[in-house]
Amino acid sequence: MTDTAKVDALRNAGNLEALYAALDPLDMTPGWVDREKPILSVEPDTEFRPMHWKYGECRAALDAAGRLINTELAERRNLILRNPVKGNDIATTRTLVNAYQMILPGEEARTHRHAPHALRVIIDSEGSYSVVNGEKHPMETGDIVLTPGWCWHGHGHDGDQPAYWLDGLDVPLTHLLEPMFFEEHPEGFAPVERVTPDSPYRFTWDMIQERLDAAEPDPEGFFGRRIRLEADEVPTIGIHVERLEAGQNTRRFRHAANCVYSPMMGSGVSEVGGETIRWSRGDVFAAPIWNWIEHRVEEDTVMFVMTDEFLMRFGKYYRFEGHA
């Protein structure tokens, strides 16, 4: 259709149906028509569901993968925790993705870098390590380690038992905004420039416990004793760790943020968006935006939480609502 014909169709439109037909070749759509997903809504309305993945099942799946594929064929032997909503292939929540990963004794995972920011919660490991921008540091049980975006990173294992950890990245957010970059290291494995247990990219279990010991209880009862692990180089992912005592029931809340929880020790039950989730050490459960959340703790618990809360705060989107 010529430009003149398009303009004539608009000028001659005698009813709304004719106007809509004339707008279509111009790749325009009226803002006032009903849509399957409205442009605006009174509150967040996500398709993502509260989900629960059990560490025991995922560990068995990784063990099976360890028998069938090595790090030459799978640069990272990981299993992605996909939220089963239409059209979603990888995301755990709208902005975050998690995966369980395993490395066998003696293996090395090749060095690469990517735009998305990443972290790892080490579930079971003795002797594994990460090399980030030439700095080699341990990854031991209870550690939380960081891989800021565009840092060279690879992994290895000097121990004698398989090592397991939980990955967390902002890949879905990167896909949404589209600044995705990825590069493999030209040497395959980046050279180690320094070996240190005190990497700025590593929060040890002991360090985390010392900070929790000094933390104050939440006076309003929504959280346990809680700390934030400051990670300025990973600005899109907020990291909290909270200590919850056996028998503690937290107050119900919802907020304009996506969260993924993983108990580093302990057990209990959480209600997320009307779903009852019975969790134990190493499990993962997702709490998408604006779902009511509350915890009932059965054993003393240390809970890892990753969230896009601080990204929401930066955009001035964040809201918090507590229940009496």
What are the structural domain ranges in the chain?
1-40, 55-204, 208-322
> What's the pTM?
0.95
Of 3.20.20.60, 2.60.40.1930, 3.40.50.720, 2.60.120.10, which CATH number belongs to 55-204? Answer: 2.60.120.10
How many residues would you count in the chain? 324
Q: What is the pLDDT of residue 2?
A: 83
Question: What separation in angstroms does the CA of 73 have from each of 79, 213, 301?
Answer: 15, 44, 37
CB atoms near residue 255 (< 10 Å): 22
Rounded CA gap, 122 and 205, in Å? 10
Q: What is the pLDDT of residue 68?
A: 87
Which CATH number applies to 208-322?
A: 2.60.120.10
Q: State whether residue 138 is helix, strand or coil.
A: strand
Asked if 240 and 229 count as a contact pair (C-beta separation under 8 A), the reply is yes
Two tokens at 91? 């995301």
Q: State whether residue 170 is helix, strand or coil.
A: coil
Two tokens at 204? 């040890």
- Per-residue 3-state assignment (H helix, E strand, C coil) for 227-276: EECCCCCCCCCEEEEEEECCCCECCCEEECCCEEEEEEEEEEEEEECCEE
DSSP 258: -
Q: What is the pLDDT of residue 80?
A: 97
Q: State whether residue 64 is helix, strand or coil.
A: helix
Asked if 317 and 286 count as a contact pair (C-beta separation under 8 A), the reply is no
Q: What one-letter code names the amino acid at 222?
A: F
76: confidence class by pLDDT, cuts 50, 70, 90: confident
Q: Are strands 135-139 and 194-195 parallel, antiparallel or unpaired?
A: parallel
Nearest 5°: the CA angle 52, 56, 58 is: 65
Contacts of 109 (CB under 8 A, 6+ apart): 71, 75, 76, 77, 103, 154, 155, 156
Q: State whether residue 66 is helix, strand or coil.
A: helix
74: confidence class by pLDDT, cuts 50, 70, 90: low
Average pLDDT rounded to a whole number, residues 128-151: 97
pLDDT at 63 over 80: yes
As beta bridge partners, residue 121 has 144, 166
pLDDT single digits (tens) 264-307: 999 999 999 999 999 999 999 999 999 999 999 999 999 999 99
The residue to which tokens 């990291």 are assigned = 239
Average pLDDT rounded to a whole number, residues 219-246: 97
Same fold, 55-204 and 208-322: yes
pLDDT single digits (tens) 21-56: 999 999 999 999 999 889 999 999 999 999 999 999
Average pLDDT rounded to a whole number, residues 236-245: 98
pLDDT at 19 over 90: yes
56-80 CB burial, b ≥16 within 10 A, e <16: eebbeebeebeeeeebeeeeebbbb
Q: What is the pLDDT of residue 196?
A: 94
Contacts of 203 (CB under 8 A, 6+ apart): 143, 144, 145, 229
Q: What is the pLDDT of residue 73?
A: 65
Task: Output the average pLDDT for the chain.
Answer: 95
DSSP 63: H
Q: What is the pLDDT of residue 28?
A: 94
Q: Report the phi/psi class of residue 214: left, alpha or beta, with left for phi > 0 and alpha for psi in -120 to 50.
A: alpha
pLDDT at 70 over 90: no
pLDDT single digits (tens) 163-173: 999 999 999 99
